[in-house]
């Protein structure tokens, strides 16, 4: 997708919402960071936000599982993003599934102000159910980009993040010791 900061005919900025979704270990954060670094290279003003609860690799950086990183601001709620996204061209949001129900409206407001909003998050939880605000974000986005990990059991495209430890908590921050990407077939075999 090609993004133009200015509409060449009207001189106005064009806002939009892009969603990057998929299972864990599929490269969502890597793709988010890639797009944000390209925007920075183009000398656009960029702000990146993540939920304060995600401090796995860093308190203040968005970090991929491959350890690629970019500076971010941890926030308690989606409303904080509106307050902190001052004079910017691009807003990046990682781990969107952990944000409150107000995030889709925040993204709409930013896009309506002419800001390019790039959001990354898990589309499904460990049970294979739509996760948090992700379905609403996918519905309002101009562009939805689904990335896939590889099933660790059979090599097919992964469908969901299977939880390896016993816990019914929907939100459980983890890595390779807590989750593995699996395809639909392997997920159904595990569930039975």
Name the residues annotated as catalytic. Answer: 95
45/89 Cα distance (integer angstroms): 5
Report helix, strand or coil for 135. Answer: helix
Q: How far is CA 40 from CA 60, 102, 146, in A?
A: 18, 27, 23
Structural tokens at position 4: 């133009």
Residue 2, judged by CB atoms within 10 A of its CB (0-12, 13-18, 19+), counts as exposed
């Amino acid at each position: 997708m090609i993004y133009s900061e200015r509409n060449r005919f009207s001189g106005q900025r064009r806002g939009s919402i892009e969603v990057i979704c998929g299972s864990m270990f599929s490269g969502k954060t890597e793709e988010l960071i890639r797009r944000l670094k390209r925007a920075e290279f183009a000398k656009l003003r960029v702000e990146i936000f993540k939920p304060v609860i995600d401090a796995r690799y860093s308190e203040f950086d968005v970090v991929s599982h491959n350890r690629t990183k970019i500076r971010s601001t941890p926030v308690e709620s989606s409303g904080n993003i509106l307050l902190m996204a001052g004079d910017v061209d691009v807003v990046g949001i990682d781990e969107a599934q952990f944000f409150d129900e107000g995030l889709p409206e925040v993204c709409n407001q930013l896009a309506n102000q002419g800001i390019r909003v790039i959001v990354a998050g898990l589309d499904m939880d460990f049970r294979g159910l739509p996760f948090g605000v992700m379905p609403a974000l996918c519905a309002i986005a101009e562009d939805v980009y689904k990335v896939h990990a590889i099933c660790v059991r059979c090599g097919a495209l992964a469908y969901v993040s299977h939880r390896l430890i016993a816990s019914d908590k929907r939100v459980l921050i983890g890595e390779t010791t807590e989750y593995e990407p699996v395809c639909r077939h392997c997920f159904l075999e595990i569930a039975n």
